[in-house]
Structure 1
Amino acid sequence: MSSTTEHSASSSRPTIAIIGAGAGGLAFAIALKQKLGYENFVIYEKASDVGGTWRDNTYPGCTSDVSTAFYSLSTDLHDWNGSHTSQEELQNYWRKLTKKYGLLPHISFNHHVVSVDWNAASNLYHLVLKNTISGDRRSTTAHIVVSAIGILEVPRFANIPGVKTFQGEMFHSARWNKSVDLKGKRVAVIGNGASATQFVPIISEDPSVQITQFCRTPNWYVAPTRFEYSNRRRWLLRNIPFLMRLQRWSIFMRLELVYFFIFKAKFFRPMIKKVSKTYIHRTAPKKYHEELIPDYPVGCKRILIDTHYLAALHRPNLVLNWEGIESIAETGIITKKGDEIPFDVLIFATGYAADSYPIPVRGTMQTIQEYYEAEKGPKAYLGTTIPGFPNFFTIFGPNTATGHTSVIYTNEVQVNYIIQLIQPILARKVSSVEVKTGPTDKYNDKIHARLSQSVFTQCLSWYRVGGEGKITNIFPGAATTFWLWLRKPNWDHYTGVGMEGWRSLVKRKQRLRQITLILMVSLCEYLRRSPHKLVGVSRMLSNFHIRF
């Protein structure tokens, strides 16, 4: 295995390394070019294409569960086919933006980030990269590192004894194996979350595929809301000014109401529960009614928009199994009741390892994962910066996901916040920016105080460490709150090399703006009371070559 070295930080302008060419990484790169006109950055992508989650998740029926008009960048509205778009169309959307903004020359495809280490003497990060095709390694440096891998990066296989002994085909739904033909096969689907409820109705359409779905916890469902746009509607959206923008705003406001009715106002939950329960009873086979109704409140786990999954349960080739899995044998699954069921294919639909950080990023004292473990779970300030990691920023970090709105929106909010944080570094006013421990602890105390009183504490879910521990993958507020909290940095919460001078400069500018505002208000009030003085003021200003 050969190794090459790249000294990108020798450039006269600070270099930025972005990890991941998914939605977050591309959104940040676009903002660098559009807002700052900045070009000295590289996106390191382990795969051979952009798109992240929408590149990797190719299982049958994969679609967004947020209305696509709001599941896209605010800067790049799109003529979508329908209310909720397929994986393929979403992937093409990000490919088009990559070309539109000239990002391809900035992307280093097929390069996995092996490690990242901070050097305090040089105020640089040292990155080790591995070519995923050749296996060759090389190193490079960067002044700023932005992690855009999110929390849905590493598929989690259920920790079941004997899983490695299975002799048939086995894969995770997040890495769908298209070479496996399911026709005529006995298939076990392990898991009944969002992904499973999308692909199970598709693969069960073939009556020769005999499916047993192993379920652990039921979900609350709402009726399908997906529909194709008519040609007329699409024409109107394309041709009437601001109509696309108005549609986006209406979806945003609707989702904010969802937050209020489900997560904020407790007294609405029983009504929503009744509606969901009625829908499940009306749609699913009677024999499953008891198992399909959750014993936890609406909103504790992700509410699923039905994709005709409940109706598919009437098919004779689809069976639900609630017995639990004891172990996996060479030829199949042994349930907790002791029954051995033979299978040809195992499909894991068991989510992601969302409570750890997969890349060994070392800051001033420890790695991110070591910091997470010391804090009993992922922790960050505003989900974006971590104490002890100067010039390191995360998009879709701890406690930034929501149970009701678009992750693309929260990504954009974080991108705008990070852009403000890195501007003094890019301007060479400071060498490093690092959040302080005190504000980080105070912020996390605040959000966890809210979370402790929330519905999220009342069930097992992927929002929590290990399913039942600290809640680290949900933001305890509305999308509007998230925007307000990240609208502008509080520079008193940050330290770093050169930060004292920067804080003084910011405060001087703030005072100057305040003085200017006071003078303008005073002048307006003076002229209101003495309008005859307006001519005199105009003459005075004209002496300073100001057009009044």
Structure 2
Amino acid sequence: MGSITEDHASHLSGPNGDAHASVPPNLEDLPDLYGWPRENERGYRIREMPSESYRPLRVVVLGCGASGISFAKFAQDDLKNVDFVLYEKNSDVGGTWLENRYPGCACDVPSVTYQFTWEPDTWSHFYSESPEIHRYFRRVAAKYNVLKYTKLNHTVTNALWDQESGKWEITVRDEVTKLTFVDECDVFINAGGPLNHWNMPKIDGIGRFKGVLAHTANYPEGLDLKGKRVAVCGIGSSGIQVIASIQKEVSKLYTWIRTPTWVLGSFGAKYMREPDTNSAYTEEELRLMRQDPTTYLKYRKNIELSISEGFGVFFKNTPEANAAREIATKEMRSKLACRPTIADALIPKDFPVGCKRPTPGIGFLEALCAENVVTYPGGQLTTITEKGFLNPDGQEEEVDVIILATGFNTTWIPRFSIIANGKNLQDMYKENPLSYLGIAAPEMPNYFTYYGPYGPLGQASAVVMIEFFTRYFNAAVRKIQAEWIKSLAPRMDVAKEFQEHADLYLKRTVWDSNCRSWWKGGKVDGKIMLYPGSRTQYMELISSPRYEDYDIKYHDMNRWAFLGNGWSTRDYDGRDITWFWGMVNGKDKKEEYELNWKASAEDSASHHQPDDQKVKDLLISPSTL
């Protein structure tokens, strides 16, 4: 802390504000100089520094996708005296948009809303594909010096909390050298995201196939499908995009309908140039976006509004929910009129629209009607052979490529141990994940996570929400610094009460219906892990942290020790200590201003002589005010 105290000593005035008083070389010397007490009989000792002296802190962040980039940007802007590092397991930044490069991979919300509010860009299409999104995050990371704080090819393998020191011990493996080391930090932030651990299905004979076997989350770059025979296993978000993208290119395409799913029109569809097409923006539109920021902002807000105001559709038995089901059924049957048996198998009968995350399926239903597509309704891929797979009749179908579009492990269980006070988060999340608002875990000190259980999943763009998480985390870091907090952990009773409220509330929603969704851990009867309310409410809630929900332990025996020597850093550092009157010329600077009252008064009088006629007019007709 030497640098802090030495810096403040240079601004120190005497006890009576005498700027010419003798100033000691260090604030620690003041009690001895003036005969002040330092310590009481209980052993409590005053910290000889002003309040808001942000102590040095180290933060370790897992991951450098959109969340990690957001944290690094705002950490540089908002945090003082904080050293931080991002450990990214991949060879580049970008997270899911680096890893997911399968055909047709794109965001499922309009591109203009899938970006940081503080770094708007223009996009080639209404829904941009993975490479373009990755380029965006790569460019943002470079522009805001995120790479300076990022260690690529480094995997976090273990996290252990040391209660005595109030620090996390993070074990990291260098994927290039294969060496491991331990990094110590005050705060550990998990920015790995919920869609990071891809799910390999258990299919008989999966290792026997002699052709190309590819998972959508690990898709081979440059794989040529033209004229090939291809089987696609899975019709979730990734499977729908793959099938729509490759159908016209392949010679034969096989797919299965294991469970029904709603395939909807596009989010923000009323702003699309042509319905059911991922239209490209024209050069004129792109030029307007670049040259007229206000118009572009209005456009983004309109699209965001059209998505966000649809929260009512998620409630059971409401007119909105019933209308959504009726419209979706009619549209799906219309597009599948060529294959009514497929429509019967695909259209859900047991759950409403929204039980699963709705999937905009541009071109998917049309692809199922194509002559080169074979769809097995009501079944699943059960057996893979050396040359292909066995169809439901037990006959072998030969294919060149099998694409596994089987999604991710969404059980919330971390891939490595996170242990604090004898508890492992892996065990805590096995059966009944308890979470604090999706951003922290009960009794896990100084640990925060982007999009944990009970977070605001399934509502509009994730990128905007990431900004709110980041601001919350940075506020917590500043509090830990300024108040010399040793550990900040959500209370277990608070998490249980929140879960009680959430579980009851969520029974009102379509999410509680009879479907298999990833926010229920991939189980039909799984516990729903969504925030119980609208995205708007969630944003407002976490904008003002509720520290009363935390168990707080301090480095000092007295929680008020952070008040220090009774002064504020503002008293010392040259900022304006009369700021409450307002800033002169916007400058937050302590200054005694030179005034010439006579000249100022004469100048004011010459510029503000009243117009007698205007005064009369006002008196006669006060409505003109």
Give the structure 2 partner of residue 353 of structure 1. Answer: 409
SS in 2 for 1:433: strand
Matched, 1:221 2:279: no
Rg comparison, structure with higher value: 2
Q: 1:20 Cα shift?
A: 0.2
Q: Which of 38, 43, 48 matches 2:86? A: 43
1:439-468 per-position Cα deviation (integer Å, ceiling 9, x unaligned): 111111111111122211211222212422
The 8 Å contact of residues 190 and 347 in structure 1, kept in 2 or not, is answered as yes
d(CA) in 1 for partners of 2:299, 2:80 = 30
Aligned partner letter, 2:339: K
Contact 2:315 2:508 in 1 (8 A): no
- Indicate the residue corresponding to 1:69 in structure 2: 112
For 1:335 and 1:475, how far apart are their aligned partners in 2? 41
| Conserved 8 A contact 1:117-1:126 | yes
CA distance in 1, matches of 2:541, 2:316: 18
* Whole-Å separation in 2 of the counterparts to 1:367 and 1:165: 37
Deviations 1:373-398 (A, max 9, x none): 2xx24331010111221111001111
Q: Work out the CA distance in 2 between the residues paired with 1:64 and 1:54.
A: 9
| Partner Cα distance (2:367, 2:177) in 1 | 45
Match among 289, 297, 319 for residue 374 of structure 2? 319
Given that 2:225 and 2:250 are in contact with CA atoms closer than 8 Å, whether structure 1 keeps it comes out as no
- The change in CA–CA distance for 1:450 and 1:405 in structure 2 (over 3 A counts) is same
1:457-507 deviation line (CA, Å, top 9, x unaligned): 2112222124224334432321101112212111111113229726998xx
* Count of residue correspondences: 492
Q: Which residue of 2 aligns with 1:97?
A: 140
1:140 maps to 183
Does the aligned pair in 2 maintain the 1:211–1:318 contact within 8 Å?
yes
Q: TM-score, normalised by structure 2?
A: 0.74
More helix by share: 1
CA distance in 2, matches of 1:90, 1:441: 38
1:146-194 Cα shifts (integer Å, max 9, x gaps): 0001110111122333333434321211111135443444322110011
Distance 1:321 1:359 in 2: 38
* Aligned equivalent of 1:31: 74
Residue equivalent to 1:252: 304
Output the amino acid matched with 1:369. Answer: Q
CA distance in 2, matches of 1:325, 1:228: 36
- Cα gap change, 1:100 to 1:277, in 2 (>3 Å): same
Cα distance per residue 1:177-212 (max 9 Å; x no partner): 13544344432211001111112122222243x211
1:460-475 matched pairs, under 5 angstroms = 460-475=516-531
- In structure 1, the residue matched to 2:214 is 171
Distance 1:405 1:411 in 2: 12
Q: d(CA) in 2 for partners of 1:265 and 1:335?
A: 39
Q: Give the RMSD, CA atoms, in angstroms.
A: 2.3
Q: Which runs of 4+ in 1 moved over 6 A?
A: 502-505
Q: Alpha-carbon deviation of 1:339?
A: 4.0
Greater CA drift, 64-73 or 261-270? 261-270
Q: Output the amino acid matched with 1:152.
A: L
Match of 1:238 in 2: 290
Matched residue SS, 1:361 = strand
Call closer, same or farther: CA 1:326–1:83 in 2, change over 3 Å. Answer: closer
1:423-502 matched pairs, under 5 angstroms: 423-427=478-482, 429-458=484-513, 459-498=515-554, 501=559
Native 8 Å contact 2:314 2:511 kept in 1: no
Q: Give runs of aligned pairs for residues 300-315 of structure 1, distance below 5 A.
A: 300-315=355-370
Q: Is the CA contact (8 Å cut-off) linking 1:212 and 1:319 kept in structure 2?
A: yes
- In the alignment, the residues of structure 2 paired with residue 401 and residue 59 of structure 1 have an alpha-carbon distance, to the nearest angstrom, of 26
Residue 316 (structure 1) shift:
2.1
Give the alignment partner of residue 117 of structure 1, picking from 147, 160, 163.
Answer: 160
CA contact (8 A) 1:460 1:467 kept: yes
1:369 to 423, 426, 438: 426
How much does 1:436 deviate? 0.7
Deviations 1:264-285 (A, max 9, x none): 7722222222222222222233
Q: Is the 8 Å Cα contact of residues 67 and 84 (structure 1) preserved in structure 2?
A: yes
Q: Which position in structure 2 is the counterpart of 1:382?
A: 437
Question: Which 5+ residue runs of structure 2 have no aligned equivalent?
Answer: 1-53, 270-277, 564-625
The worse-fitting range, judged by mean Cα deviation, of 85-94 and 181-190 is 181-190
Counterpart contact for 1:189–1:348, Cα < 8 Å: yes
CA contact (8 A) 2:161 2:169 kept: yes
For residue 293 of structure 1, the aligned residue among 329, 344, 347 is 347
Q: How does 1:146-225 map to 2 (within 5 A)?
A: 146-178=189-221, 180-208=223-251, 210-224=252-266, 225=269
Q: Percent identity?
A: 27
Which range moved further: 263-272 or 143-152? 263-272
Unaligned runs of 5+ in 1: 1-10, 506-548
- Counterpart amino acid of 1:318? V
SS in 1 for 2:332: helix
Task: Supply the AA of the counterpart residue of 2:543.
Answer: R
Preserved contact between residue 18 and residue 147 of structure 1 (Cα < 8 Å): yes
Change in 2 beyond 3 A, CA 1:26/1:365: same
- TM superposition shift of 1:12: 7.0
Question: How many angstroms apart in 2 are the aligned matches of 1:276 and 1:216?
Answer: 19
Q: What amino acid is the match of 1:248? A: R
Q: Report the AA paired with residue 21 of structure 1.
A: C
SS in 1 for 2:553: coil
Identify if the C-alpha distance between structure 1 residues 178 and 246 changes in structure 2 by more than 3 Å, giving closer, same or farther.
same
| Contact 2:261/2:346 (<8 A) preserved | yes
Counterpart of 1:6?
Answer: none
